[in-house]
Amino acid sequence: MTGKVKILSLILLAVFFLAVILVGRDLFLRLSIRTIQCEDGPRKMIDIREFSTQYWGYSYELQANIGDKTKFSGKVSPKQLQQLSESLQQANEFRKSLVGGYNSCAISKAQFTEFVVRFQALDGLSRQINAELNSHNSDTLRIADLVKQYINLTQQLSSGTKQ
């Protein structure tokens, strides 16, 4: 019996050390800021997870509300709800390509900053939509207008045009 306990203890210890190594490696990679050299100067690479957390939190909540649909029923037309859902997906894909473009020097720091400002505007609209949806006396016209603004801004973001 003690031989089996020793073997089980060694296996658990090995699994623990493997987990510590994997978590530690990921943490080290995230904390060690890699710098790359581009035509417009050196830049620190961006971790997509951090970018997502910083500029996209309320959009995820909005996406959850769309999946639920009950908060939108009667407040937004089905067509507009579908457009909003597509806009969220489109912006999510653009966000990934934006970070990839920045990390590979395909876009300049100035272009990246311009797009970040637009993402902040999207985030602000998401906050307003979520707040209006969670309000006890929400305004259907205001929600519809905010959704329209969100869709338009996403289309402009994806096409690269300015407001």
Determine the pLDDT at residue 63.
Answer: 63
In a domain, 143, yes or no: yes
Q: What is the pLDDT of residues 120-147, one digit of tens each?
A: 888 888 888 888 877 778 788 888 899 8
Domain that holds residue 66: 47-159
At residue 76 the predicted structure's pLDDT band, cuts being 50, 70 and 90, is confident
In a domain, 37, yes or no: no
In this predicted structure, the answer to whether residue 14 has a pLDDT above a threshold of 60 is yes
Beta-strand runs (E) in the chain: 35-38, 41-44
In a domain, 131, yes or no: yes
In a domain, 69, yes or no: yes
Q: Are 59 and 90 in contact (CB under 8 A)?
A: no
Considering Cα of 65, then 68, then 69, then 70, what sign does the dihedral take?
negative
In a domain, 7, yes or no: no
Q: Are 76 and 144 in contact (CB under 8 A)?
A: yes
Better pLDDT: 72 or 80 = 80
**35/18 Cα distance (integer angstroms):** 29
In this predicted structure, the answer to whether residue 78 has a pLDDT above a threshold of 70 is yes
Tokens of 131: 């707040």
Determine the pLDDT at residue 108.
Answer: 92
Question: How many domains would you assign to the chain?
Answer: 1
How many CA within 13 A on the CB side of residue 91?
A: 32
**143/135 Cα distance (integer angstroms):** 11
In a domain, 146, yes or no: yes
The conformational region for residue 108 under phi > 0 = left, psi -120 to 50 = alpha, else beta, is beta
Among the listed ranges 35-39, 57-61, 91-95, 106-110, which one has the minimum average pLDDT value? 57-61
In this predicted structure, the answer to whether residue 93 has a pLDDT above a threshold of 70 is yes
In a domain, 8, yes or no: no
In a domain, 4, yes or no: no
Tokens 């800021």 -> residue: 33
Q: What is the pLDDT of residues 21-38, one digit of tens each?
A: 877 766 665 555 678 888
Q: Are 54 and 45 in contact (CB under 8 A)?
A: no
